[in-house]
Amino acid sequence: MRVTANVQQRLRLPESDRGAPARRFGAIRLVVALLIVASIATQVVQESIYNDFMPLEYFSYFTVQSSLIDVVILTLSGLMAALWKRESTLLGVLRVSVVSYAIVTAVVYNVWLRALPDDGYVVSQWPNEIIHVAVPLFLLVDWLVAPGRPVLRVRDVRIVLIFPLVWLAFTFVRGTLDGWFPYPFLLRGRPDSWFAAGAYVLGISAFIVTVTLMLIALSRARWANTDRLWGVQGR
Cβ-proximal residues to 3 (8 Å cutoff; 6+ apart), any chain = none
* Alpha helices, DSSP H, located in 18-88: 20-49, 55-58, 62-82
Q: Average pLDDT of 95-113?
A: 92
Of 65, 98, 88, whose CA–CA distance to 166 is shortest? 65
Residue 70 clears pLDDT 80, i.e. is over it: yes
Of 14, 18, 19, 153, whose CA–CA distance to 80 is shortest? 19
Q: How confident is the model at residue 188 (pLDDT cuts 50, 70, 90)?
A: low
The answer as to whether 235 is a domain residue is no
3-state secondary structure of 50: coil
Domain that holds residue 141: 2-230
Distance CA 210, CA 203 (A): 11
Amino acid sitting at position 79: L
- Which run of H or E residues covers position 119? none
Most distant CA atoms of the chain, gap in Å? 66
Cα 136-142-145 angle, rounded to 5 deg? 140
The answer as to whether 11 is a domain residue is yes
Q: What is the pLDDT of residue 91?
A: 94
Residue 15 clears pLDDT 90, i.e. is over it: no
Q: Average pLDDT of 204-223?
A: 92
Neighbours of 219 (CB within 10 A): 20
* Alpha helices, DSSP H, located in the chain: 2-11, 20-49, 55-58, 62-82, 89-108, 126-129, 135-145, 157-160, 162-178, 193-220, 226-230
3-state secondary structure of 26: helix
Residue 79 clears pLDDT 60, i.e. is over it: yes
Q: What is the pLDDT of residue 7?
A: 46
3-state secondary structure of 200: helix
The answer as to whether 75 is a domain residue is yes
Q: pTM for the whole thing?
A: 0.85
Q: How confident is the model at residue 224 (pLDDT cuts 50, 70, 90)?
A: confident
The answer as to whether 108 is a domain residue is yes
Residue 191 clears pLDDT 70, i.e. is over it: no
Distance CA 78, CA 139 (A): 12
First to last CA, the chain: 25
Residue 60 clears pLDDT 80, i.e. is over it: yes
Range with the poorest average pLDDT among 2-11, 171-180, 225-234: 2-11
Neighbours of 32 (CB within 10 A): 21
Q: What total of structural domains would you count in the chain?
A: 1
Of 111, 131, 134, whose CA–CA distance to 65 is shortest? 131
Distance CA 73, CA 110 (A): 24
Amino acid sitting at position 40: I
Q: Are 101 and 45 in contact (CB under 8 A)?
A: no
The answer as to whether 34 is a domain residue is yes
